[in-house]
Amino acid sequence: MADDADMMAMMGLSGFGKQTKKRTVDVVARYESTKRAEQTAEKGELKGDENPAAKRARVGENVPEVEQDDEVGPMPPPSLTNKGDASKVDESDDEQDEGAEDSDPDDESTFPITHEITLKDHTKVVSALAVDPSGARVVTGSHDYDVKLWDFGGMDARFKPFRSWEPAESYHVHDLKYSNAGDKFLVISGTSQAKLYERDGEEVATFIKGDPYIRDMKNTAGHVGELTACAWHPKESNLFITSSYDSTIRIWDVENKRKQKTVIVVKSKERGTRTKVMSCTYSRDGKMIAGACLDGALHIWNTNSNFVRPSLSIEGAHVKDTETGSVTFALDGYTVLTRGGDDTVKLWDTRSFKKPVTTATDVPTLYPGTSAIFSPDEKYIVTGAAAIPGRQPGRLLFMPRHEASGENGLKPARSVILGEKVSAVKVVWHSKINQVLASLSDGSVRVLYSPNSSTNGAKLCVTRAPKKVTIEDISAALRDAPILTPHALPMFKEDEGRSGQRRRDKDRSDAVKTRKPMPPVNGPGRGGRVGASATQHIVQHMFRDTSRDEDPREALLKYATKEGEDLRWTQAWKDSGNVFAEVEEEEKEEGA
C-alpha cells in the first residue's frame, strides 16, 4: 500500500482504477465563487481592479479542486444532495436566507446579473454570438477566424468548447444565427458566401457566389460583396435573409443553394449610387424586412410587395459613414430599435417614422456589429458601451423603455461594469434560461446569471468540477501515441523526430515528392538517355530535316519503273540460263 501511495503521489493521480467513493459537492459554495462584485452604477464605487472580489469572479481562471462525482449530469439542489446530513442542510438553508436578505429580490428577478462565468477560448474580439432556442448550446465567432461550439450540459468548471474550426479560413466572422428549431445555424463571414451548419458543426451547404462582372445586382445568382448580417424567417423555417456590401438584401431558401429566391436592391439617395447594407432583420410576424445602410438610412420593406422601393424609409437615421450594428423589431410589430456606430441607440415607431421616439446618446462603440436588444418582457433595452481609456470602463447598460421619451430620454437604470479595457459587442438575453450573455473585445464571453431566477445554462457547469486524471486516462494517451520505429524498412520509416525545417529540406531534394520534372542530360549520355552537347542545338538548326517539304506523290513515283525497263530488280533475273530437257517420243517398234 505504501508503494501504491508513493506511485500515485509521483504521477499526480488520485488513485488507481475507478473511484467508487462518492463525494458531495457544496453547490452553494460553488455559486458563491462565481458571485460578481457590486460594480453597478448605483451601488458600487469600486473599480474592477480595486475590488478584491473582482478577481474572485473570474472562475474560468481559478477553479476550486473538488473531486469528480461518478454520476453524469447536473448536480441536484443542495436540499437533495445533503439529505442525509441534517445539520448541513440547515446550514446551507441559513446561508441562502442570509444571501437573500443581503440582495434585493425584486432586483435579482428583474436583472439576472448577480453571478457570472467567463467562456474564454478566443484570442481576439468575439464579433458574433448566438444561443439555440433551448438555451443549451452557444456558438461564437471571432476575428481570430474561428467558430466555437459550447455546450452547457457537457462543460465542466473549466468552461471549454467542444468544437472549433475555421469556416472561411482567414476571414472574420461577422454574424451567427440559430434556426427557429435549433437544428442548424448560419455562419456569415467576410466572404460573399453564407454557410449552413448542422447543430454539431457539420457543414450542410455553401451558398453560391454571384458574378462580380455583372452590374445589375438582380441578375446575379448570389452576393458579390462582403456579407454583414443574416436573419431567419420567424414563421417559415427554410427562409433566411443576408445583407452585403453589394447594396442588396437577398432572400434564400435552404433547399436551393445555387440561387437566391428574391433580391432587394438598396439604392442610396446620392444620385442612385450603391450603399453598403450593414444589418438586416425580420419583424416578429415575418411581414416586414428592415435594413440599415452605411449612408445612415433605415429602410423597411413589406414582404408582400415587389421590393422595388421600400415601404418606409428615413434618411439620416444615423450619422453617415457609420456602421449601424443592429436592427431589432419589438413584439408589437411597429417599434424598431437601432444601435448606431455614432454612439447612439434609437427607438423608432413605424406609424410615425419621421423622427425617433427616444434616443440614448453617449453610448460609445468601437466595433462594427455592436448590438442592442430588448429584454424578454421588452421593458428594458440592453446594449454594451465601449471602454474609453482614462474616462470610463466597459459597461453593459439596462435602459427602461416605456419611461423614455424625447431627445436623450433613454437613461440606464442599471449598468454592469465589465472591465477597464473591455468592451461589449454582441448581447443576448435568453428568455428560457433567463441569462445574459455578452461577447467582449478580449476574446471572452461573459455569462451573467442568478442562482435563484435563472434555469440551467451556466448553473449546470458551475457545479461540475474538472475531471481528475486517473491511470486509465494516462494509459489511453499512451495507447493512442504514435509508434516510432527507426530500424524499420526505409519505405515505412517515419521521420517524426526530425524537425520541420530539416524534413522540408530533405523532401525538397526528392524529385518524386516534389514532382519536379526530369532535367535534360548535360554531357555524355547515361542511364539510357542520349547526352547533349553545347553545339547540339546549333547543329540541329543548320541541318534541318526537309522531309516536310517533299511531295509524297513524287517521293513514291521515283521508285516506279520506267517504260521499256525490265521489271526485275536485279540482273540475275534478266537471263536465268535455264536449260530444260527435251521430251522425245519413243519410236514405235517396227512391225508392231
The residue type at 220: T
C-beta of residue 260 within 8 angstroms of C-beta of residue 221: yes
What local confidence, expressed as pLDDT, does residue 68 receive? Answer: 40
The residue type at 576: S
C-beta of residue 240 within 8 angstroms of C-beta of residue 280: no
C-beta of residue 180 within 8 angstroms of C-beta of residue 192: no
For 91-232, list the strands marked E by DSSP.
Answer: 115-120, 126-131, 137-142, 147-151, 163-165, 173-178, 184-189, 195-198, 203-206, 227-232
What local confidence, expressed as pLDDT, does residue 150 receive? Answer: 96
**Enclosing H/E stretch for 474:** helix 471-479
HEC string for 418-449: EECCCCEEEEEEECCCCEEEEEECCCEEEEEE
302: left (phi over 0), alpha (psi -120 to 50) or beta: beta
The candidate with the shortest Cα–Cα distance to 39, out of 451, 399, 426, 396, is: 396
Rounded to an integer, the average pLDDT of 408-424 is 90
What are the grid coordinates assigned to 437, written together?
450573455
What local confidence, expressed as pLDDT, does residue 33 receive? Answer: 84
Q: Is it the case that residue 502 has pLDDT exceeding 60? A: yes
What local confidence, expressed as pLDDT, does residue 30 receive? Answer: 84
Q: Is it the case that residue 51 has pLDDT exceeding 60? A: no
Q: How confident is the model at residue 448 (pLDDT cuts 50, 70, 90)?
A: very high
Give the least confident one: 45-54, 250-259, 284-293. 45-54
> Alpha-carbon distance 470 to 459, whole Å?
26
91's CB contacts (< 8 A; 6+ apart) are none
β partners of residue 438: 427, 446
**Enclosing H/E stretch for 384:** strand 380-385
Task: Using a pLDDT cut of 70, give the percent of the chain over it.
Answer: 73
Let me know if domain 113-470 sits in CATH 2.130.10.10: yes
Give the least confident one: 70-74, 214-218, 298-302. 70-74
* Residue ranges of domains in the chain: 113-470
Q: How confident is the model at residue 83 (pLDDT cuts 50, 70, 90)?
A: very low
Rounded to an integer, the average pLDDT of 281-285 is 96
- Half-sphere exposure of 518 toward its Cβ, with a 13 Å CA cutoff? 4
Q: How confident is the model at residue 82 (pLDDT cuts 50, 70, 90)?
A: very low
Which range, 84-93, 330-339, 502-511, 572-581, is most confident? 330-339
C-beta of residue 396 within 8 angstroms of C-beta of residue 415: yes
3-state secondary structure of 170: coil
Buried-state track 94-126, b at ≥16 Cβ within 10 A, e below 16: eebeebeeeeeeeebebbbbbbbbbbbbbeebb
pTM of the model: 0.68
- Half-sphere exposure of 373 toward its Cβ, with a 13 Å CA cutoff? 21
What are the grid coordinates assigned to 576, written together?
536465268
Residue with cell 461577447: 439
Q: Give the count of beta carbons closer than 10 Å to the beta carbon of residue 222.
A: 23
Give the least confident one: 177-191, 236-250, 268-282, 560-574. 560-574
Pairing of strands 380-385, 394-400: antiparallel
HEC string for 225-288: CCEEEEEECCCCCCEEEEEECCCEEEEEECCECCCCCEEEECCCCCCCCCCCEEEEEECCCCCE
> Alpha-carbon distance 251 to 247, whole Å?
14
**Enclosing H/E stretch for 473:** helix 471-479
177's CB contacts (< 8 A; 6+ apart) are 130, 185, 186, 188, 230, 231, 232, 240
> Alpha-carbon distance 82 to 76, whole Å?
10
Q: How confident is the model at residue 291 (pLDDT cuts 50, 70, 90)?
A: very high
The candidate with the shortest Cα–Cα distance to 445, out of 107, 171, 131, is: 131
What local confidence, expressed as pLDDT, does residue 445 receive? Answer: 97
Q: How confident is the model at residue 89 (pLDDT cuts 50, 70, 90)?
A: very low
The candidate with the shortest Cα–Cα distance to 371, out of 176, 527, 576, is: 176
CA-CA-CA-CA torsion for 539, 545, 546, 548, nearest 10 degrees? -140
Q: How confident is the model at residue 559 (pLDDT cuts 50, 70, 90)?
A: confident
378: left (phi over 0), alpha (psi -120 to 50) or beta: left
Pairing of strands 173-178, 184-189: antiparallel
Rounded to an integer, the average pLDDT of 228-250 is 96
3-state secondary structure of 79: helix
What local confidence, expressed as pLDDT, does residue 313 receive? Answer: 95
What are the grid coordinates assigned to 399, written together?
435602459
Longest dimension (CA), the chain: 173
Angle at 78 between CA 77 and CA 83, to 5 degrees: 110
Give the least confident one: 78-82, 192-196, 420-424. 78-82
- Cα-atom radius of gyration of the chain, to the nearest Å? 40
3-state secondary structure of 346: strand
Q: How confident is the model at residue 188 (pLDDT cuts 50, 70, 90)?
A: very high
> Alpha-carbon distance 237 to 338, whole Å?
25
DSSP 356: -
User: What is the strand order of the sheet 239-244 is part of?
Assistant: 227-232, 239-244, 248-253, 262-265
What local confidence, expressed as pLDDT, does residue 62 receive? Answer: 39
3-state secondary structure of 336: strand
> Alpha-carbon distance 428 to 439, whole Å?
9
Residue with cell 453617449: 362
Residue with cell 431589432: 328
Q: pLDDT tens across 116-147, in order?
A: 999 999 999 999 999 999 999 999 999 999 99
Q: Is it the case that residue 296 has pLDDT exceeding 50? A: yes
Q: Is it the case that residue 174 has pLDDT exceeding 90? A: yes
Average pLDDT of the residues of the chain: 81
Rounded to an integer, the average pLDDT of 532-552 is 77
Rounded to an integer, the average pLDDT of 163-167 is 95
Give the least confident one: 206-210, 321-325, 548-552. 548-552
In 480-575, which residue ranges form alpha helices assigned H by DSSP? 500-508, 511-514, 536-542, 552-557
> Alpha-carbon distance 446 to 141, whole Å?
14
What local confidence, expressed as pLDDT, does residue 28 receive? Answer: 83
Q: Is it the case that residue 59 has pLDDT exceeding 70? A: no
Q: Is it the case that residue 1 has pLDDT exceeding 60? A: no
231: left (phi over 0), alpha (psi -120 to 50) or beta: beta
